[in-house]
Amino acid sequence: MAGAAPFAKMNGIGNEIIVADMRGRAERVSAAAALALNADPATRFDQIMAIHDARTPGTAYFVDILNSDGSSAQACGNGMRCVVQALAAETGETVFTFETVAGILNAKQHQDGSISVDMGMPRFGWQEIPLAEEFRDTRMIELQIGPIDAPVLHSPSVVSMGNPHAIFWVDRDVWSYELERFGPMLENHPMFPERANITIAQVTSPDSMIIRTWERGAGLTRACGSAACAAAVAGARTKRTGRSVELTAPGGKLTVEWRDDDHVILTGPAEWEFSGSFDPATGTWARDTESAA
């Protein structure tokens, strides 16, 4: 393919990620390419993490994040771990400083192969998330779906991890809620002018919870790293948990530590599946012949 860019299909505990190598190129991965790659079952993804040349001194790369509907995302914790694993394999480095549209982000690969990403500081102001109306306390906002007198989901905590998140606390098994039905309504609720990632969370101990996420621009996913961060922060803010939490998502476990310096550290694995090359304008792609299935 002329002008093709290398990519790796990877995942972060089942969050389907394409790491695209756009270094040395001026163009972005187009929304049309994202839609085409997502339409093919072999390359279906939740996020594309496009690695570009650095724009800012002191950073190694600029990472552009696209959702599977072609929209842009400001943060993707699971995808950043995939980026780190791909770059660590290529360069032998283990510590990286990246830039995204949301700012500077540090990450490192540990001896055991797990990867920690510093997701920065959470933000709680209603205008920062953003919400459509003023709430002075975003630990719990008025929002509900279902019958007025017996809402199915209500009173979420809202947090920005660079991207907007709403966490609905539930007592029952997270699988007993029809997130595929409520997710789209809540993602697009007028309360969220930039839409939102929607998570239901069941706290199982002061340092653990089970979560399921409907992602803005991607739908149901097996895991969402920034949602794990948002849920852990919201858990600590509402005194449901401490500041170090293990989160079980459908695809596996992640740990989040909300450090005393206010930074949120997400740790978990990343997995390579296969490599190929693609046209960043159209999404036409081919698998590398030497790449395993």
Q: Which residues are catalytic?
A: 76, 224
**Nearest CA-CA partner of 120 in 283, 281, 256, 287:** 256
Stretch that binds ligand API, among 69-77, 87-95, 107-115, 140-148 (CB under 6 A): 69-77
Which residue has 């979420």 as its token pair?
Answer: 156
Which of 18, 48, 66, 75: binder of ligand API (CB under 6 A)? Answer: 75
Span 228-287, contacts to ligand API by CB under 6 A: none
Instruction: Decide if 36 contacts 7 (C-beta within 8 A).
Output: no
- 199 binding ligand API? (CB under 6 A): no
**# of chain residues touching ligand API (CB under 6 A):** 19
φ, ψ (nearest 5 deg) of residue 106: -105, 145
- 67 binding ligand API? (CB under 6 A): yes
Q: Give least dist CB 4 to ligand API, A.
A: 25
Q: Spell 164-187 as b/e; 16+ CB within 10 A means b.
A: bbbbbbbeeebeebebeebbeebb
Using CA atoms, how far apart are residues 195 and 83, in angstroms rounded to an integer? 25
Using CA atoms, how far apart are residues 13 and 93, in angstroms rounded to an integer? 23
- 21 binding ligand API? (CB under 6 A): no
- 77 binding ligand API? (CB under 6 A): yes
Using CA atoms, how far apart are residues 254 and 267, in angstroms rounded to an integer? 6
- 216 binding ligand API? (CB under 6 A): yes
- 218 binding ligand API? (CB under 6 A): yes
User: Which residues, 6 or more positions from 261, have their beta carbon under 8 angstroms from its beta carbon?
Assistant: none
- 217 binding ligand API? (CB under 6 A): yes
Span 41-60, contacts to ligand API by CB under 6 A: 46-47
Binding-site annotation: residue ranges for substrate: 15, 47, 67, 77-78, 163, 197, 215-216, 225-226
Binding-site annotation: residue ranges: 15, 47, 67, 77-78, 163, 197, 215-216, 225-226
- 10 binding ligand API? (CB under 6 A): no
Indicate the residue among 153 and 227 with the shorter CB distance to ligand API. Answer: 227
Phi-psi region of 66 (alpha: psi -120 to 50; beta: other; left: phi over 0): beta
Indicate the residue among 33 and 76 with the shorter CB distance to ligand API. Answer: 76
Using CA atoms, how far apart are residues 49 and 72, in angstroms rounded to an integer? 10
Return residues touching ligand API (CB under 6 A).
15, 46-47, 67, 73, 75-79, 163, 197, 215-218, 224-226
